[in-house]
A and B are shown apart, each in its own frame.
Chain A
Amino acid sequence: MGREDAVVKQVVAKYNNDKTRLMDIITDVQHELGCISDDTIRCIASQLQISSVDVEGVVTFYHFFTKTPRGRYTVYLNNSAVALMKGRTAIAKAFEEAAGCRFGSITSDGTIGLYDTSCIGMNDQEPAAIINGVVFTNLTTQKVKDMVAGMKAGKNVQDMVTEFGDGANQSEFIRSMVKNNIMRKGPVLFAPYEMGSSLKAALSKKPEDVIDEIKLGNLRGRGGAGFPTGMKWDFCRKSEGAKKFVVCNADEGEPGTFKDRVILTEIPHMLFEGMAIAGYAVGASEGILYLRAEYQYMKKYLEKILGDMREKNLLGKNILGKGFDFDIRIQMGAGAYVCGEESALIESAEGRRGEPRNRPPFPVQKGYLGYPTTVNNVETFCCVVRIMLEGGEWFKKMGTAQSAGTKLLSVSGDCSNPGIYEVEFGTTVQTLLEMVGGRTAKAVQIGGPSGTCIGKKDFGRRICYDDLATGGSIIIIGPDRDLFEIVHNFMDFFVEESCGWCVPCRAGNVILKERLEKIMSGKASMKDMEELESWCKIIKSMSRCGLGQTSPNPIYTTIQNFRDLYEAKVRKDVDYVTTFDLMAAVQESCKAAGRIPKVEEH
Chain B
Amino acid sequence: MSKPVVATASLAGCFGCHMSILDIDERILKLIELVEFNKSPIDDIKTFTKQCDVGLIEGGCCNSENVENLRLFRKNCKILIAVGECAIMGGLPAMRNGIPVKECLEEAYLKCPTVDDNIIPNDDELPMILDRVYPLHEIVKIDYYLPGCPPRADLIWEALVALLSGKELQLPYEVVKFD
Chain A interface residues (CB < 8 Å from chain B)? 575-576, 578-580, 582, 584-595, 597-599, 601-602
Contacts and interface: CB of A to CB of B under 8 A. Distances in A.
Interface stretch (B22-30, B136-144, B163-171): B136-144
B68 A576 contact: no
Contacts of A598: 124
Nearest to A576: B141
Interface in B66-122: 67-68, 71, 100-102, 105-106, 120-122
A595 B122 CA distance: 6
23 contacts: A576-B140, A582-B67, A582-B130, A585-B131, A585-B134, A586-B64, A586-B128, A586-B131, A588-B131, A589-B101, A589-B102, A589-B105, A589-B128, A589-B130, A589-B131, A590-B128, A592-B105, A595-B124, A595-B128, A597-B128, A598-B124, A601-B68, A602-B71
B50 to A, nearest CB: 22
Contacts of A575: 141
A580 B70 CA distance: 13
Nearest to A507: B89
A587 B141 contact: no
B176 interface: no
Contacts of A591: 102
A585 B130 CA distance: 5
Contacts of B19: none
B129 interface: yes
Contacts of B68: 601-602
A579 B130 contact: no
Given A586-B131, A589-B130, A594-B120, A579 B64 contact: no
Interface of B: 64, 67-68, 71, 100-102, 105-106, 120-122, 124, 128-132, 134, 138-141
B48 to A, nearest CB: 16
Nearest to A582: B67
Given A580-B139, A582-B67, A588 B101 contact: yes
A587 B131 contact: yes
The residue among B102, B106, B128, B141 with the most chain A CB atoms within 10 A of its own CB is B128
Nearest to B123: A595
Given A593-B120, A594-B120, A602-B67, 12 more contacts: A575-B141, A576-B140, A578-B138, A578-B140, A580-B139, A587-B131, A592-B106, A592-B120, A594-B122, A595-B124, A597-B128, A598-B124
The residue among B101, B106, B121, B138 with the most chain A CB atoms within 10 A of its own CB is B101
Nearest to A602: B68
- List the 7 shortest-distance A-B pairs measured between CB atoms, nearest first: A576-B141, A589-B129, A586-B128, A593-B122, A593-B120, A592-B102, A595-B122
Contact of A579 (B120, B121, B138): B138
A595 B65 CA distance: 16
A104 to B, nearest CB: 16
B179 to A, nearest CB: 12
A34 B134 CA distance: 40
A587 B129 CA distance: 9
A578 B61 CA distance: 14
B141 A592 contact: no
Contacts of B131: 584-589
Contacts of A586: 64, 128-131
Nearest to A531: B137
Given A592-B101, A602-B71, A580 B124 contact: no
